[in-house]
Amino acid sequence: MRVLFAAPSKGWDNWAPHLRAACPEMELLQDGEPGSFDALIYAPGYPESGEPLDFTPFTRARLVQSLWAGVERIVGNPTLTQPLCRMVDPGLQAGMVEYCLGWTMRAHLGMDGYAQDGVWRNPIVPPLAPERRVTVLGTGALGGAVARALKAMGFDVAGWSASGRAVEGMEVLPGADLHAALARAEILVSLLPDTPGTRDLLDAGTLALLPSGATIINPGRGTLIVEDDLLAALDRGQVGMAVLDVFRTEPLPPEHPFWAHPRVVVTPHIAADTRPSTAAPIVAENLRRAMDGRPLLHLVDRARGY
């Protein structure tokens, strides 16, 4: 099979050896006649001209496999008629779980309360995990994994899913119960996709539903939060801390007020990355399924956007 690596050229040296090892029957190329390709492996930033990719000439392609978990940059492309699959990678999932566990524990234990200034703050004793309520927005592959890991640590965890997607052994509140999900969230972890239904979900009104001093951890999508409303909530203490890994504009401009705010931690979109060593077998399996006419893994629902 002929496969186009439709991703920024800087990733070629990292990806090509792993992809070829996982799928030796594939002829992986960086260019060629569009009509000759059986599939595309895609990542945002391609083509490097900045123009949207025109999928129309790829008449033979049976699959567009995204290397990213999020597909919001491609799913609305009107020329894309081929099946689109998002990346669900065990390495990416493990990285996201570690990020969310680490920052949840930092917030739960109040680690930022122990200033190294010679003051003995012995009365500051955090509750145990079962006494801390955590809500995870989004119960897909990443959100479900994070929720299960937090539950295993002993936290009082509930999920929220617009579709009511279940997570075994855990309460999941449906879309209509967003207010209840937020009202219990001493720590709120957001792993929602970027869709019309999630954009601006956390605005002044919904932020006001959180318990006073709540922590927000957002490694999902920057479009979820109305930034000015979050800053106002931080200033008045409604939100005690925000750990933000994703933003509406990336890289986050140096003059953005998030950088200087004492209750904001900015991480530069590093919560979880697709790792070629663990993702290549997923790509290979989907390529084989596409060639054989079998059901594809993690097929994107165009109507829902993920």
Of the listed 18, 86, 184, 221, which one is catalytic? 221
- Could you tell me the CATH number of the domain that includes residue 54? 3.40.50.720
- Mean pLDDT along residues 123-143: 94
Q: What is the mean pLDDT of residues 261-290?
A: 96
Q: Which of 60, 269, 289, 302 is catalytic?
A: 269
Q: What is the pLDDT of residue 122?
A: 84
Q: To the nearest whole number, what is the mean pLDDT of the chain?
A: 96
Instruction: Give the rounded percent of residues in the chain with a pLDDT score beyond 70.
Output: 100
Tell me whether residue 304 is in a domain.
Answer: no
Both 226 and 103 in one domain: the answer is yes
244 and 97 in a single domain? The answer is yes
- 286 lies in a domain? yes
Q: Answer yes or no: do 95 and 84 share one domain.
A: no
pLDDT at position 163: 83
Is the per-residue pLDDT at 124 higher than 80?
no
Whether 241 and 287 map to the same domain: the answer is no
- Does residue 99 sit in the same domain as residue 218? yes
SS3 185: coil
> What residue numbers bound the domain in which 85 lies?
2-89+274-292
Q: Helices 12-22 & 276-292, crossing angle to 10 degrees?
A: 50
Question: CA–CA separation, 92 vs 276, rounded Å?
Answer: 10
Asked if 279 and 249 sit in the same domain, the reply is no
The enclosing H or E element of 105 equals helix 90-109
Q: Is 63 exposed, middle or buried (0-12, 13-18, 19+ CB in 10 A)?
A: buried
Which of 119-147 are b and which e, b meaning 16 or more Cβ less than 10 Å from the residue's Cβ? eeeeeeeeeebeebbbbbbbbbbbbbbbb
Distance CA 136, CA 216 (A): 10
What band does 105 get if pLDDT is binned at 50, 70 and 90?
very high
What's phi and psi for 64, nearest 5 deg?
Answer: -115, 110
Residue 206 pLDDT: 98
Residues 220 and 123 reside in one and the same domain: yes
Query: Regarding predicted confidence, which is higher, 162 or 263?
Result: 263
CA–CA separation, 221 vs 246, rounded Å? 6
Query: Are 67 and 135 found together in one domain?
Result: no
Q: Are 105 and 122 in the same domain? A: yes
- pLDDT tens digits, 180-207: 999 999 999 999 999 999 999 999 999 9
168 inside domain: yes
Q: Does 212 lie in the same domain as 94?
A: yes
**Catalytic annotation present for 221:** yes
Overall number of domains in the chain? 2
Q: What is the mean pLDDT of residues 259-267?
A: 98
pLDDT at 177: 97
Could you confirm whether 256 is annotated as catalytic? Answer: no
pLDDT for residue 113: 87
Q: Say if residue 95 is in the same domain as residue 221.
A: yes
Distances (CA, A) of 197 to 162, 190, 228: 9, 14, 19
pLDDT at 236: 97
Residue 300 belongs to some domain of the structure = no
Report, as an integer, the average pLDDT of 22-38: 98
Q: Do 67 and 53 belong to one domain? A: yes
- Residue 241: inside a domain: yes
pLDDT per residue over 142-175, tens digit each? 999 999 999 999 999 999 998 887 888 889 999 9
Range 75-90 average pLDDT: 95
